[in-house]
Amino acid sequence: MSNNSSSNEDSELALFHAAMQGVEPLTANNKAIICKPKVPPIPRRGNIFLEETEHGTLSDHIAITIEQGDDWSFIRPGMSHQTLRRLRRGHWKIQGNLDLHGLTRDQARQELSVFLAVCIQNKFRCVRIIHGKGLGSKNREPVLKTRIGNWLMQFNEVLAFCQAKPEDGGSGAVLVLLKINM
Protein backbone atom coordinates (compact mmCIF):
# COMPACT_ATOMS: atom_id res chain seq x y z
CA MET A 1 0.00 0.00 0.00
CA SER A 2 2.85 2.38 0.69
CA ASN A 3 4.11 1.67 -2.82
CA ASN A 4 0.76 2.78 -4.30
CA SER A 5 0.69 5.87 -2.03
CA SER A 6 4.23 6.75 -3.09
CA SER A 7 3.34 6.50 -6.79
CA ASN A 8 0.26 8.75 -6.26
CA GLU A 9 2.45 11.37 -4.58
CA ASP A 10 5.01 11.11 -7.38
CA SER A 11 2.33 11.55 -10.07
CA GLU A 12 0.79 14.50 -8.22
CA LEU A 13 4.23 16.09 -7.89
CA ALA A 14 4.86 15.51 -11.59
CA LEU A 15 1.48 17.12 -12.44
CA PHE A 16 2.29 20.09 -10.20
CA HIS A 17 5.71 20.57 -11.83
CA ALA A 18 4.12 20.35 -15.28
CA ALA A 19 1.52 22.98 -14.32
CA MET A 20 4.18 25.30 -12.92
CA GLN A 21 6.52 25.01 -15.90
CA GLY A 22 7.55 28.51 -17.04
CA VAL A 23 6.24 30.21 -13.89
CA GLU A 24 8.69 32.52 -12.13
CA PRO A 25 8.32 33.58 -8.51
CA LEU A 26 7.59 37.25 -7.76
CA THR A 27 10.45 39.25 -6.33
CA ALA A 28 9.90 39.97 -2.66
CA ASN A 29 10.29 43.60 -1.65
CA ASN A 30 9.61 42.93 2.05
CA LYS A 31 7.16 45.87 2.23
CA ALA A 32 3.55 45.67 3.26
CA ILE A 33 1.19 47.92 1.35
CA ILE A 34 -1.29 49.50 3.74
CA CYS A 35 -4.07 51.45 2.14
CA LYS A 36 -5.84 53.85 4.48
CA PRO A 37 -9.37 54.30 3.16
CA LYS A 38 -10.04 57.84 1.97
CA VAL A 39 -13.04 59.58 3.45
CA PRO A 40 -15.00 61.27 0.68
CA PRO A 41 -15.55 65.00 1.26
CA ILE A 42 -19.05 66.40 1.44
CA PRO A 43 -19.43 68.52 -1.69
CA ARG A 44 -19.88 72.27 -1.41
CA ARG A 45 -23.10 73.83 -2.50
CA GLY A 46 -23.04 75.98 -5.62
CA ASN A 47 -24.07 79.14 -3.75
CA ILE A 48 -22.74 79.06 -0.22
CA PHE A 49 -24.77 82.09 0.85
CA LEU A 50 -28.02 80.16 0.85
CA GLU A 51 -30.51 80.03 3.70
CA GLU A 52 -29.45 80.30 7.33
CA THR A 53 -28.82 76.99 9.03
CA GLU A 54 -30.87 75.77 11.96
CA HIS A 55 -28.05 76.98 14.20
CA GLY A 56 -28.47 80.63 13.22
CA THR A 57 -25.52 82.90 12.64
CA LEU A 58 -22.20 82.04 14.23
CA SER A 59 -20.65 84.97 16.05
CA ASP A 60 -17.07 86.20 15.73
CA HIS A 61 -17.47 88.28 18.88
CA ILE A 62 -17.68 85.63 21.57
CA ALA A 63 -14.84 86.01 24.03
CA ILE A 64 -13.96 82.34 24.53
CA THR A 65 -10.39 81.27 24.99
CA ILE A 66 -9.10 78.08 23.44
CA GLU A 67 -5.78 76.57 24.39
CA GLN A 68 -3.39 77.46 21.55
CA GLY A 69 -0.14 75.83 20.51
CA ASP A 70 0.52 72.16 20.03
CA ASP A 71 -2.29 71.18 22.40
CA TRP A 72 -5.03 73.27 20.74
CA SER A 73 -8.22 71.68 22.02
CA PHE A 74 -11.66 72.07 23.58
CA ILE A 75 -13.91 69.78 25.57
CA ARG A 76 -17.46 70.62 26.57
CA PRO A 77 -17.87 71.09 30.34
CA GLY A 78 -19.03 67.88 31.98
CA MET A 79 -17.28 65.67 29.43
CA SER A 80 -14.50 63.34 30.56
CA HIS A 81 -10.95 64.30 29.61
CA GLN A 82 -10.61 60.64 28.57
CA THR A 83 -12.90 61.54 25.66
CA LEU A 84 -10.46 64.22 24.49
CA ARG A 85 -7.56 61.77 24.86
CA ARG A 86 -9.41 59.22 22.72
CA LEU A 87 -10.13 61.85 20.06
CA ARG A 88 -6.44 62.81 19.92
CA ARG A 89 -5.41 59.16 19.56
CA GLY A 90 -7.81 58.47 16.68
CA HIS A 91 -10.27 56.30 18.61
CA TRP A 92 -13.11 57.30 16.26
CA LYS A 93 -12.98 56.87 12.49
CA ILE A 94 -13.15 60.14 10.54
CA GLN A 95 -16.50 60.06 8.76
CA GLY A 96 -16.46 63.41 6.96
CA ASN A 97 -14.08 66.13 5.76
CA LEU A 98 -14.43 69.84 5.12
CA ASP A 99 -11.63 71.76 3.42
CA LEU A 100 -11.85 75.53 3.95
CA HIS A 101 -8.63 76.48 2.12
CA GLY A 102 -8.97 79.73 0.21
CA LEU A 103 -12.34 80.76 1.64
CA THR A 104 -13.10 84.12 3.23
CA ARG A 105 -14.21 84.28 6.86
CA ASP A 106 -17.88 84.61 5.87
CA GLN A 107 -17.67 81.79 3.34
CA ALA A 108 -15.92 79.54 5.86
CA ARG A 109 -18.55 80.30 8.52
CA GLN A 110 -21.39 79.37 6.15
CA GLU A 111 -19.62 76.23 4.88
CA LEU A 112 -18.94 75.09 8.46
CA SER A 113 -22.61 75.55 9.44
CA VAL A 114 -23.87 73.60 6.43
CA PHE A 115 -21.23 70.87 6.87
CA LEU A 116 -22.00 70.33 10.55
CA ALA A 117 -25.75 70.30 9.89
CA VAL A 118 -25.24 67.56 7.26
CA CYS A 119 -22.91 65.59 9.58
CA ILE A 120 -25.37 65.81 12.48
CA GLN A 121 -28.23 64.75 10.20
CA ASN A 122 -26.16 61.76 8.99
CA LYS A 123 -25.19 60.89 12.59
CA PHE A 124 -21.45 61.28 11.98
CA ARG A 125 -19.47 60.93 15.19
CA CYS A 126 -16.04 62.25 14.16
CA VAL A 127 -15.19 64.72 11.37
CA ARG A 128 -12.12 66.62 10.19
CA ILE A 129 -12.09 70.30 9.30
CA ILE A 130 -9.07 71.51 7.35
CA HIS A 131 -8.44 75.21 7.98
CA GLY A 132 -4.89 75.40 6.68
CA LYS A 133 -1.62 76.37 8.30
CA GLY A 134 -1.64 79.95 7.09
CA LEU A 135 1.49 79.60 4.97
CA GLY A 136 -0.13 81.68 2.22
CA SER A 137 -1.42 84.41 4.52
CA LYS A 138 0.10 87.84 4.98
CA ASN A 139 1.66 87.06 8.39
CA ARG A 140 2.09 83.33 7.65
CA GLU A 141 -0.38 82.54 10.45
CA PRO A 142 -3.58 80.47 10.23
CA VAL A 143 -6.38 82.98 9.67
CA LEU A 144 -9.32 80.64 10.23
CA LYS A 145 -7.96 78.43 13.03
CA THR A 146 -9.09 80.48 16.05
CA ARG A 147 -12.34 81.54 14.40
CA ILE A 148 -13.22 77.92 13.63
CA GLY A 149 -12.56 76.98 17.24
CA ASN A 150 -14.87 79.74 18.47
CA TRP A 151 -17.54 78.78 15.94
CA LEU A 152 -17.34 75.09 16.86
CA MET A 153 -17.93 75.88 20.53
CA GLN A 154 -21.20 77.58 19.59
CA PHE A 155 -22.65 74.27 18.37
CA ASN A 156 -24.19 72.29 21.23
CA GLU A 157 -23.58 69.12 19.18
CA VAL A 158 -19.79 69.64 19.33
CA LEU A 159 -18.55 67.67 22.33
CA ALA A 160 -14.82 68.18 21.79
CA PHE A 161 -12.20 69.08 19.24
CA CYS A 162 -8.44 68.94 19.00
CA GLN A 163 -5.62 69.43 16.56
CA ALA A 164 -5.38 66.57 14.08
CA LYS A 165 -2.53 64.05 14.11
CA PRO A 166 0.23 64.80 11.57
CA GLU A 167 -1.07 62.19 9.12
CA ASP A 168 -4.54 63.79 9.30
CA GLY A 169 -3.40 67.39 8.72
CA GLY A 170 -1.54 68.32 11.91
CA SER A 171 -1.72 72.00 12.83
CA GLY A 172 -3.69 72.72 9.65
CA ALA A 173 -6.71 70.65 10.67
CA VAL A 174 -8.97 69.94 13.61
CA LEU A 175 -10.79 66.73 14.58
CA VAL A 176 -14.31 67.28 15.90
CA LEU A 177 -16.32 64.87 18.05
CA LEU A 178 -20.08 65.27 17.58
CA LYS A 179 -22.98 64.29 19.80
CA ILE A 180 -25.20 61.70 18.14
CA ASN A 181 -28.90 62.26 18.78
CA MET A 182 -30.88 59.04 18.75
Name the CA radius of gyration of the chain, rounded: 26
Residue 2 forms part of a structural domain: no
Distance from C-alpha of 87 to C-alpha of 84, rounded to nearest angstrom: 5
Considering the chain, what percentage of its residues have pLDDT values greater than 90?
A: 39
**For 1-22, what is each residue's pLDDT tens digit?**
556 667 778 888 888 888 888 8
**For 71-86, what is each residue's pLDDT tens digit?**
678 999 999 999 999 9
Q: What pLDDT does residue 124 have?
A: 96
Q: Which residues pair with 128 in a beta bridge?
A: 97, 175
Number of domains the chain contains: 1
Report the helix count and the strand count for the chain, using DSSP H and E. Answer: 4, 5
Q: What pLDDT does residue 4 have?
A: 63
CATH number at residue 78: 3.30.1370.110
Distance from C-alpha of 105 to C-alpha of 26, rounded to nearest angstrom: 54
> Residue 52 belongs to what domain range?
39-178
Residue 147 forms part of a structural domain: yes
**3 state DSSP class of 87:** helix
Output 54 or 178, whichever has higher pLDDT.
178
Residue 30 forms part of a structural domain: no
